Homo-oligomer: A and B are copies of this chain.
Amino acid sequence: MNSLHFEQSQCPRCSFGVFCLNSEIIELGRRKRHLKKGAILHSRGEPFKYLYAVKQGAIKTCDTDVIGNELIYSLYFKNEICGYDAIYKQQYFYTAVALVDTEVCEIAYPEFLELLKKKPNLLSRVLLLMSQQLTWGSYLKSATAQQRVAAFLLDLLQRLSTDHSASSFLLPMTYRDIGNYLNLATETISRTLSQLKKDQLISIENKTIYLFEKEALNDLAEGFFF
């Protein structure tokens, strides 16, 4: 689909995908943190020190509004880097929480920056990946619940599966989380997924979601993918 997938297979030694270049980053990110489900990686407003590379599991960045509702701003899965948004204010912009048991690598920003200055190839890749994050969640602008859910499913499939032909993934979050991410009530998520099941586009067993009709889902999502 794009250049990223090709390059992800380059380095079999770690899970950093394109971000790994001659293992420098591995050295930088050698300090691992293990987070239990629900554990806080960092809180909003804390001084920014580390980027975090997700090696296993899933992270949400979120915030709670005045009424106490949670809003999820971004999701980060395996091989994705979390924390770029904190560079600007030198504070974490959101609170980051583990959605499931998760393993991350700390990447100290000053060292990261030094490395970028020394390694031009790495710089190109980092800009590439930051650019990618600017395009994330574009489907959140779509109007109806069905559009957003369909696009979300295709997004997750792409980001959670290792090979292109995959058509199922393990959902690493609750319906409430999905709702908080898509700006929809939990009940709406449930109802929309039920409808998609009834229409034979997907099936769900426990936490595994199968996407039978990716083309049809993409039509519903108004062509955000493919």
A214 to B71, CA, bound (A): 23
A164 to B10, CA, bound (A): 48
Nearest-neighbour CB distance to chain B for A157, whole angstroms, equals 18
Copies in the complex: 2
Which of chain B's residues has its CB closest to A94's CB?
A: B138
Contact of A88 with B141 at beta-carbon distance under 8 Å, contacts A117-B120, A123-B123, A134-B134 already known: no
| Chain A residues touching B, majority SS | helix
Contact of A88 with B135 at beta-carbon distance under 8 Å, contacts A130-B130, A141-B183 already known: yes
Q: Which of A20-28, A79-87, A196-204 contacts B (4 or more CB under 8 A)?
A: A79-87
Q: Does A13 contact B (CB under 8 A)?
A: no
Contact of A130 with B84 at beta-carbon distance under 8 Å, contacts A65-B222, A123-B116, A143-B183 already known: yes
Nearest-neighbour CB distance to chain B for A196, whole angstroms, equals 19
Which of chain B's residues has its CB closest to A66's CB?
A: B222
Q: Does A166 contact B (CB under 8 A)?
A: no
User: Which residues does chain B contribute within 8 Å of A69, judged by CB atoms?
Assistant: 143
A140 to B140, CA, bound (A): 9
Residues of chain A from 83 to 122 with CB closer than 8 A to chain B in the complex: 84-90, 93, 113, 116-117, 120
Which of chain B's residues has its CB closest to A219's CB?
A: B66
Let me know if B86 and A131 touch, CB within 8 A. yes
